[in-house]
């Protein structure tokens, strides 16, 4: 068969992605598993605006972060107000938590989300300028057990979705008191190397030297190898809390590796921070598929009471790509029943039959373009239907029809009533 080939006049913007029906079906499967796991941990879904006032992200994400400095899509609306497409979800969720007075409800508030987000960053495999995240926020609990429970939720999700070769790395950034001590030690270490740091790190070093530890520039990465470790600067109270988190993970049998270089890319983190690292068995490369941590000052920073919080996000594109590379067996969408009919009376009967079946949740279709019998058969085979039912004069006269199994090419022995569809429904729903 000859295929029509056209050169597209209009193309998608660089860094965006078209998701076609089969891919959407696979995403829905991932999203459904995530929602089910979150609900099993007593989280409810929250939906937030795609854009916020820019100040929400300047304050909530941190002015020294790469996101705010380089990656946000910011614009003035017709009233001159500065708006930004959300580059992540946490700041927006916390803003909604404060604005809607959820701090007056039972705490902690457990909120999960599925969002699109936008960052003007370099396009790479599995990384886009418009991307999607699965994540959650737990607001109002200081307990170390909350940290453990959130990590356990991610672990359970990855198990249920079928992701393999993923490992947990974690660190503690301690409290404000611990970080003040560490900042001083880190500055003392970095100052002799300032001239060798990249331009961005030279600008960040006074405001937030932790950002230097997260820099991807090779010279900066080499310099920080000898930097002091924040775990050596924790107060006694912070050390106790850190040990409680590790004990909680040990108690659940969740394996982990302590990585004292993890700081995460956002300014609001404190205490426990973590990443789930995916090891690609084919290329030998490792990439972060999930990251998160605690942010006890963010609610207050965005105008709310002084309440703690913790959360994480998972890049959906990267997760889906990893599952495909691991040959994860997704359930492919397959329509159930196609009713072939040509004459007007038969088409009317087909429409009534399909209307009833669709209300039972059965995926069914009939021709709406007055195509020939041959053309209809060609179409339903292309669409990979499971069954077809042909309605002609005989079937209408007898008020019954036979169902054809398109996998075997054979008709089922049973004659199905066109008046009482219960028997037909049972067969189609059982498939």
Q: Does residue 20 sit in helix, strand or coil?
A: coil
Per-residue pLDDT at 265: 57
Q: Is 268 annotated as a binding residue?
A: yes
d(CA 372, CA 341): 9
d(CA 206, CA 210): 10
pLDDT tens digits along 140-183: 999 999 999 999 999 999 999 999 999 999 999 999 999 999 98
d(CA 262, CA 258): 9
* Structural domains of the chain ordered from first start: 21-175+235-326 (3.30.930.10), 180-230 (no CATH), 337-430 (3.40.50.800)
Q: Is-cis flag, bond preceding 369, omega within 30?
A: no
Of 117-121, 207-211, 266-270, 292-296, which range is least confident? Answer: 266-270
Task: Show the beta-strand stretches assigned E in 119-228.
Answer: 130-139, 166-172
Q: Is 88 annotated as a binding residue?
A: yes
Per-residue pLDDT at 199: 87
Per-residue pLDDT at 208: 79
Structure tokens at 42: 């007593």
Q: pTM here?
A: 0.91
pLDDT tens digits along 37-59: 999 999 999 999 999 999 999 98
pLDDT bin (cut points 50, 70, 90) of residue 284 is low
At residue 116's C-alpha, the angle toward residues 155 and 11, to 5°, is 125
Q: Is 275 annotated as a binding residue?
A: no
Residue 5 has pLDDT above 80, yes or no: no
Q: Is 90 annotated as a binding residue?
A: yes
Q: How many CB atoms lie within 10 A of CB 117?
A: 22
- The residue-averaged pLDDT of 188-212 equals 86
Residue 319 has pLDDT above 60, yes or no: yes
pLDDT bin (cut points 50, 70, 90) of residue 409 is very high
- The residue-averaged pLDDT of 299-318 equals 96
Q: Is 137 annotated as a binding residue?
A: yes
Q: Is 73 annotated as a binding residue?
A: no
The answer to whether residues 233 and 178 touch, using CB atoms and an 8 Å cutoff, is yes
The answer to whether residues 260 and 249 touch, using CB atoms and an 8 Å cutoff, is no
Give the position of tokens 């393999």: 164
User: Residue 287: which of 124, 74, 97, 140 has the closest Cα?
Assistant: 124
Q: Are strands 109-118 and 44-45 parallel, antiparallel or unpaired?
A: parallel
Q: Is 269 annotated as a binding residue?
A: yes
């Amino acid at each position: 068969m000859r295929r029509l080939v056209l050169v597209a006049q209009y193309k998608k913007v660089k860094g965006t992605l078209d998701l076609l029906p089969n891919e959407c079906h696979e995403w829905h499967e991932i999203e459904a598993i995530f929602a089910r796991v979150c609900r099993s941990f007593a989280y409810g879904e929250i939906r937030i605006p795609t854009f916020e006032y820019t100040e929400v992200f300047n304050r909530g994400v941190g002015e020294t972060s790469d996101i705010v400095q380089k990656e946000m899509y910011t614009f003035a609306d017709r009233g001159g107000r500065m708006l930004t497409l959300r580059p992540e979800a946490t700041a927006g969720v916390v803003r909604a938590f404060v604005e809607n007075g959820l701090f007056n409800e039972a705490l902690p508030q457990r909120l999960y989300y599925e969002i699109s987000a936008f960052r003007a960053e370099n396009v790479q495999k599995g990384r886009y300028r418009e991307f999607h995240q699965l994540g959650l926020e737990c607001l109002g609990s200081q307990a170390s057990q909350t940290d453990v429970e959130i990590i356990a939720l991610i672990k359970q999700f990855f198990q249920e979705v079928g992701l393999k070769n993923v490992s947990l790395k974690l660190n503690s950034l301690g409290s404000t008191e611990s970080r003040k001590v560490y900042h001083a030690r880190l500055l003392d270490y970095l100052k002799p190397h300032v001239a060798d740091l990249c331009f961005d790190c030279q600008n960040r070093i006074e405001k937030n030297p932790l950002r230097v530890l997260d820099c991807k520039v090779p010279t900066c990465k080499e310099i920080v190898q000898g930097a002091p470790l924040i775990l050596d600067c924790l107060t006694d109270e912070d050390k106790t809390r850190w040990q409680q988190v590790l004990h909680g993970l040990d108690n659940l049998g969740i394996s982990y590796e302590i990585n004292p270089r993890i700081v995460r890319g956002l300014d609001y983190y404190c205490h426990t921070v973590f990443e789930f690292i995916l090891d690609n068995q084919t290329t030998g490369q490792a990439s972060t598929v999930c990251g998160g941590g605690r942010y006890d000052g963010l609610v207050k920073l965005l105008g709310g009471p002084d309440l703690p919080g913790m959360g994480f996000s998972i890049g959906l594109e990267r997760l889906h790509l990893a599952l495909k590379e691991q040959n994860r067996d997704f359930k492919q969408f397959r329509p159930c029943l196609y009713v072939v009919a040509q004459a007007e009376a038969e088409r009317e009967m087909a429409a009534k039959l399909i209307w009833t079946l669709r209300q039972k949740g059965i995926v069914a279709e009939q021709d709406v373009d007055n195509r020939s019998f041959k053309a209809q058969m060609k179409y339903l085979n292309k669409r990979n239907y499971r069954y077809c039912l042909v309605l002609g004069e005989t079937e209408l006269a007898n008020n019954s029809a036979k169902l054809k199994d398109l996998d075997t090419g054979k008709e089922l022995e049973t004659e199905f009533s066109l008046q009482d569809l219960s028997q037909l429904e049972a067969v189609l729903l059982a498939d």
